Amino acid sequence: MSPETRAVERPVVLGIETSCDETAAAVVARTDDGGTDRILSSIVASQSKLHERWGGVVPEVACRAHLETILPVVQESLAKASVAREQLTGIAATYGPGLVGALLVGLSAAKALAFAWDLPFTAVNHIHGHVYAVRMAHPDAEYPHVVLVASGGHTAIYVSRSPLELRLVGSTVDDAAGEAFDKVGSILGLGYPGGPRVECAAKDGNPKAFAFPRSGFGAGSFDFSFSGIKTAVLYHCRGQNAPKGGALRPDVNVADVAASFQAAMVDVLVERTLAAAAAFRVPTVAISGGVAANGALREALARRAPRSVRVCIPPMSLCTDNAAMIAGLGARRLDAGLEDDLSIEADPTPIRAEV
């Protein structure tokens, strides 16, 4: 086979992601050995400034911003990758879970481009994309993987036996981890998004100042509950009978509360993930999703993991929402013949068992 022919046959996939408040497009190509994904471009237009004044993502505002941004972001991703549309071998887009109106924008744009350019199309699950990000960043990591996906909308542990297989083994019964960070950021008056701001405030605080609860469901369960930690922080900062939105008590040390809250979250997330890794006897443990950008979490997982497991943590750009993970997984799906019909609809519901 000549090098020219190989270059044409290699997957070069455009991925589109609009499940929440980032409008993202990326071009990913596979190397000749078929094992490694090369990210030729990954463009992420964040809307966080738009949502900041509301203290959270406003779905209607998110949809309008996606509509305005999607085509320029796609154009930028192709230009940055130096890939003409004739060189693409397929298009992938997130179909769910997420905000249904936001999902519809990226999914419709991708379907329209696939139709107009006569390219195969595949619909990718956003959470599966976060899990696949681990494979993209660490192509040599041995399967099965136990992956904690912790983001603003989801917190769950999966066992992944191959790039295309995923089984849910535990999930939050109430808030997502990122949601708890965002709510505590708001209680402490740090603004939105709370996660990175709580982490920043925690740097000057004492993680042992307060023993916030580490709720669990006993041995054998890999489920999470974060509402107890969040309520404990609320009562600590505002008193038990304070009105909603009341002021912080004057003696509250924001840095100590942030550090103690973060320590409790990290303990629970790491303990449950390592327990799953031990129970399923996997060689690889990983974290992904926006909360995986947290330095204390990354450091604690790497430090507390037994030497028998390899800890794989994607770089920040692959942990937070991005379209490279969608393009990479999309290329795998197309390789496996998992092309989707253009009639496929957005589906906001999370993975309940396995894919």
Q: Which residues bind ligand KG4 (CB under 6 A)?
A: 20, 151-153, 178, 181-182, 193-196, 199, 289-291, 293-294, 320-321
SS3 339: coil
| Backbone angles phi and psi of 38, in degrees to 5 | -105, 120
Provide the minimum distance between the beta carbon of 227 and Zn ion in the complex, in angstroms, as a whole number. Answer: 21
Cβ at position 100, least distance to ligand KG4 in Å: 14
- Please tell me the distance from the alpha carbon of residue 290 to that of residue 233, in angstroms, as a whole number: 22
> In the bound complex, which residue of the shown chain has the CB atom lying closest to Zn ion?
151
Q: Which is nearer to ligand KG4, 89 or 262 (CB)?
A: 262
Q: How far is the CB of 182 from ligand KG4 (least distance, A)?
A: 5
Q: What span, in angstroms and rounded, lies between the C-alpha atoms of 141 and 353?
A: 24
**Residue 26: is it exposed, middle or buried by C-beta count within 10 angstroms (0-12/13-18/19+)?**
buried
291 binds, among Zn ion, ligand KG4, none (CB under 5 to 8 A by kind): ligand KG4
Nearer to ligand KG4, 57 or 274 (CB): 57
Q: Of residues 175, 199, 256, 321, which one binds Zn ion by CB under 5 A?
A: 321
Rg of the chain's alpha carbons, rounded to an integer? Answer: 21
Cβ 292 vs Cβ 127: under 8 Å = no
Closer by beta carbon to Zn ion, 157 or else 187: 157
Is 122 among the residues that bind Zn ion (CB under 5 A)? Answer: no
Residue 293 binding partner per list ligand KG4, Zn ion, none, with a CB distance cut-off of 5 to 8 Å that depends on partner kind? ligand KG4
- Contact range with Zn ion by CB under 5 A, out of 232-240, 248-256, 295-303, 318-326: 318-326
The C-alpha atoms of residue 317 and residue 148 are separated, in whole angstroms, by 17
Q: In angstroms, give the least distance from the CB of 100 to Zn ion.
A: 15
Q: Cβ closer to Zn ion: 151 or 262?
A: 151
Residues 159-190 as b/e (b if ≥16 CB within 10 A, e otherwise) read bbeebeebebbbbbeebbbbbbbbbbbbbbeb
Q: Pick between residue 321 and residue 340 the one whose CB is nearest to ligand KG4.
A: 321
User: Which of Zn ion, ligand KG4, none is residue 175 near (CB under 5 to 8 Å by kind)?
Assistant: none
**CA proximity to 339, closest of 106, 111, 74, 32:** 111
Q: Identify what 129 binds: ligand KG4, Zn ion, none; CB under 5 to 8 Å per kind.
A: none
Among 42, 69, 77, 151, binds Zn ion (CB under 5 A): 151
**Closest distance to Zn ion from the beta carbon of 149 (Å):** 8
Interatomic CA distance for residues 124 and 17, integer angstroms: 9
Cβ of residue 145: shortest distance to Zn ion, in angstroms? Answer: 17
SS3 of the chain: helix, strand, coil, percent, to 5 = 45, 20, 35
> Cα separation of 308 and 186, whole Å?
39
- Which positions touch Zn ion (CB under 5 A)? 151, 321
